Chains A and B, each alone.
Chain A
């Protein structure tokens, strides 16, 4: 079980590593499509990367409603309690 802060740190590190984003741009309110310019192919890469870190087989369908970094953290938080 990881805290929301830990999850946020992992997500931010992943975004910086995978997409060469500047760390300060990754805030909880940042929108993936507009603010971070993550498209549907990037999203598949990101989800695959995170599911390796959290050691969970997740379907990208679980992430359908994700729009912001905060949504993603909620989603991972929910998945790890299941």
Chain B
């Protein structure tokens, strides 16, 4: 009798799994070539990052002792590398992309906030707005491969919180452009957006202008918890759309903590529609 019961449970479980599996999608757009190409490009990208971080940026550091010039040069080199990466993968027809309104990026004292659906979002933004500084994971300052690059470019680590906020404030006041991904980490497709309040806080402290960028990628790829070789059945297309500047004066009449909560709620609402939600 017990046996019968477990069998029935098993049957139910397997029913469940077979129905939850997605139906086979036809692999198109030269799937196997795209797979090999994607692997090669990631290898090249890793090598170039290594060469830039260990050889080119240290040389720039030696030749330009003055901080702001060193940062400018380092960012220009990194930006050119990221732009070349994007053009490379797109010229090889591994990806398509459309970047709408990118001429609105890179203004002095501008805080750029973007959602973060894929691994290479930062390459689009810093590739096409290379003068910008960027808040990056504190771990990149300890990682041997990325360390040289993020220090040379004067990017800002996201921890500890008080240093991040004060450094971001200083950068904006000095007229730099600053890029922040308020979600802090990549979004998992279909999961609701979890935004941190830091971006709203920094914006109200020091930004002259706040500009949102909506990023989407169809079909979804290179998202969190997904290895690079799980490429989508058809060629993915990134769409980056620079939104209208957000009027900060409307928030600044309240004390900072209250104002930043309001702006934060509005930003969350603005981005809620930008990431495609799947069942």
Contact = CB atoms under 8 A, between A and B. Distances in A.
Interface string A51-74: 000000000110000000000000
B182 to A, nearest CB: 12
Interface of chain B: mostly helix, strand, loop or mixed: helix
A50 interface: no
6 contacts: A18-B258, A19-B258, A40-B162, A44-B161, A44-B201, A45-B256
B152 interface: no
Interface string A34-47: 00000111111111
A41 B258 contact: no
Contacts of B83: none
B184 to A, nearest CB: 12
Contacts of B140: none
Interface in A16-38: 17-20
A18 B255 contact: yes
Contact of A17 (B162, B166, B255): B255
Contact of B201 (A19, A45, A49): A45
Nearest to A59: B162
Contacts of A20: 258
Contacts of A17: 255
A41 B255 contact: no
A43 B257 CA distance: 10
B198 interface: yes
Contacts of B197: 39, 41
> Which one of A20, A44, A46 has the highest number of Cβ atoms from chain B below 10 Å of its Cβ?
A44
Closest 8 CB pairs of A and B: A60-B162, A40-B161, A44-B162, A18-B255, A45-B257, A18-B257, A45-B256, A44-B165
Nearest to B159: A40
Nearest to B200: A41
